[in-house]
Amino acid sequence: ISPALKIKQSGPGSGKGTQCEKIVAKYGYTHLSSGDLLRAEVASGSERGKQLQAIMQKGELVPLDTVLDMIKEAMIAKADVSKGYLIDGYPREVKQGEEFEKKIGAPALLLYVDAKAETMVKRLMKRGETSGRADDNEETIKKRLDLYYKATEPVIAYYEKRSIVRKINSELPVEEVFAIVEKAIDELK
Ligand SMILES: Nc1ncnc2c1ncn2[C@@H]1O[C@H](COP(=O)(O)OP(=O)(O)O)[C@@H](O)[C@H]1O
Ligand SMILES: Nc1ncnc2c1ncn2[C@H]1C[C@H](O)[C@@H](COP(=O)(O)OP(=O)(O)O)O1
Ligand SMILES: [Mg+2]
């Protein structure tokens, strides 16, 4: 499997999904969102999906092996046609990063899509008006943010040692954020 491009799990509502969509449109990478993969499992109505739904509704992390297996399967399924992978929402804790390296490989770039907590809450509350997501409500958003600062932010320091982190100011309008993203990706080439 070729090296994965990663997009930092830079906090819920920071704009990862929005930027990933634009990256796919321009660069054609295979976008794999751990949240989307999990929500697809929930939508399937399987027993496992029901357990996942309960965890996600509480704003907690699902078991590491479940997520990593899903990502790996999805990567393998696209291995023949993929121009590279854009992984969104993973790793959410340092342990997930370590396991990814062991089972899949080392990422080439980590895009750290950064927004203030206040901005993330505002965007998620707005998204919640239409998303239908069980975790886009005030109580769960608060838990997701707490968990983000506790478990996910340390992931950045872990990758900074290898100089693959590019911090992207996601307070700006979508197009301006994307201009910074493009620069970070083009520097790789
Ligand atoms: N740069 C931006 N400026 C304003 N709103 C944004 C920006 N980026 C994303 N949003 C909005 O914020 C919400 C969360 O974005 P999303 O991409 O779903 O974030 P994430 O995948 O990180 O949770 C969406 O409703 C999106 O339209
Ligand atoms: N790598 C991961 N490890 C554990 N749980 C994960 C995970 N990625 C997603 N989840 C679960 C817990 C999250 O609160 C939920 C939604 O994830 P998401 O769609 O990536 O959220 P967002 O894009 O708003 O940051 O799915
Ligand atoms: Mg998302």
Give residue limits of the domains in the chain: 16-183
pLDDT reported for residue 189: 75
pTM higher than 0.95 for the full model?
no
* Whole-complex ipTM: 0.87
User: What pLDDT, on the 0 to 100 scale, is given for residue 10?
Assistant: 83
Q: How confident is the model at residue 1, as a pLDDT? A: 43
> Which residues are CB-neighbours of 183 under 8 A, at least 6 positions away?
none
Cis omega before residue 91 (within 30°)?
A: yes
Identify the residues whose C-beta falls under 6 Å from ligand 1: 12-18, 123, 126-127, 170, 172-174, 177
What size, in residues, is the chain? 189
Print the SS3 string covering 109-137.
EEEEEECCHHHHHHHHHHHHHHHCCCCCC
Q: In this predicted structure, what is the pLDDT of residue 188?
A: 87
- Stretches in the chain below the pLDDT threshold 50: 1-2
d(CA 35, ligand 2 centre) in Å: 4
pLDDT digits (tens, 9 = 90+) for 42-68: 999 999 999 999 999 999 999 999 999
CATH superfamily of 16-183: P-loop containing nucleotide triphosphate hydrolases (3.40.50.300)
- Find the 173 Cα to ligand 1 centroid distance in Å: 10
Ligand 1 atom, smallest distance to 177 CA: 1
Percent of the chain with pLDDT over 90: 93
Write down the pLDDT at residue 9.
59
Residue numbers in the known binding site for AMP are: 34, 39, 60-62, 89-92, 96, 133, 144
Question: What pLDDT score was predicted for residue 26?
Answer: 97
| Residue of the CA atom closest to atom 1 of ligand 1 | 174
Ligand 2, CB cutoff 6 Å, lining residues: 12-13, 16-17, 33-35, 38, 56, 59, 61-62, 67, 89-90, 92, 96, 135, 144
Query: Which residue in 6, 4, 2, 1 sits closest to 152, CA to CA?
Result: 6
Measuring CA to CA, which residue among 112, 111, 134 is closest to residue 124?
134
Find out whether 37 and 70 touch, Cβ atoms under 8 Å: yes
